[in-house]
Amino acid sequence: MLTIKVNKKLKDFSLGLDISLPQKSLVIRGSSGAGKTTLLRCVAGLEKVEEGFISLGNTVYLDTRRNICLPPSRRGIGFAFQDYLLFPHLSVEQNILYGLRHPGNNHGNPGLNMLNDIVSGLELSHAYLPRFPQELSGGERQRVSLARALLAGSRLFLLDEPFNAIDRKCCCRLLDFVSEWIKQHNIAAIMVSHTENDLFDLETSVLYLKKGQVASFYNEGCA
């Protein structure tokens, strides 16, 4: 069970919601500036929340009443950022493996064995591994960012429009791989998407945000 209760003042409105997810997957939709990315950053611990409670299973990430706030590195969360945020001085392989450094990651040494599965599943050529991010196209950098999130997220993935630089046919294949990875490793996932077809599986919850508030919240199945 993933529970998110947050209240955060933004420039033009307040982000406020109170939801609990029995499902493992959540897709967040809404117009530009609705607070979608800010919500992901709150869950990741990258944004300060005036009042809130965030937990996954028995682990409490945030409880402002009890002054609990786990740092991002201890949450076991993989975050695929919309603008990639790859380290330019690290190779592709080093960027992907970076998430294994964090104490919140419980993949441990087996995570190293996951590298080949992730690289193949995301259709990244192994020839790219020694290269640097500036040598890759936008779509390739986006897949590297996604690969790093998959390996870092031992408990939860946060994906901010992870396929917007990838062609539609390839996107469908990558989404299938990510969905299977979530099921196989029993990991929760939250994805921001503007595309109606971007659903993980039949048990995906869909949240529509409008100016920081919940406009609708329901379950939706894949076609």
All structural domains of the chain with their residue ranges: 2-220
Length of the chain, please?
223
pLDDT of 190 higher than 80: yes
Q: In angstroms, what CA-CA distances link 192 with 26, 32, 34, 86, 204?
A: 9, 11, 11, 19, 13
Q: pLDDT tens across 199-216, in order?
A: 666 568 899 999 999 999
Q: pLDDT tens across 13-26, in order?
A: 999 999 998 767 89
pLDDT score for 221: 47
pLDDT of 194 higher than 90: no
Q: pLDDT tens across 84-131, in order?
A: 999 999 999 999 988 776 545 554 445 567 888 899 999 998 899 999
pLDDT score for 177: 92
The per-residue pLDDT of the chain, averaged, comes to 87
Angle of helix 110-121 relative to helix 168-185, nearest 10 degrees, comes to 150
pTM for this entry: 0.87
CATH number (2.120.10.90, 1.10.4080.10, 3.40.50.300, 3.40.630.30) of 2-220 reads 3.40.50.300
Cα 61 from Cα 76, distance rounded (Å): 10
88: exposed, middle or buried (Cβ count in 10 Å: 0-12, 13-18, 19+): exposed
Going along the chain, which residue ranges are E strands? 2-9, 14-21, 25-29, 51-56, 59-63, 68-69, 77-80, 156-160, 188-192, 204-210, 213-220
pLDDT score for 102: 55
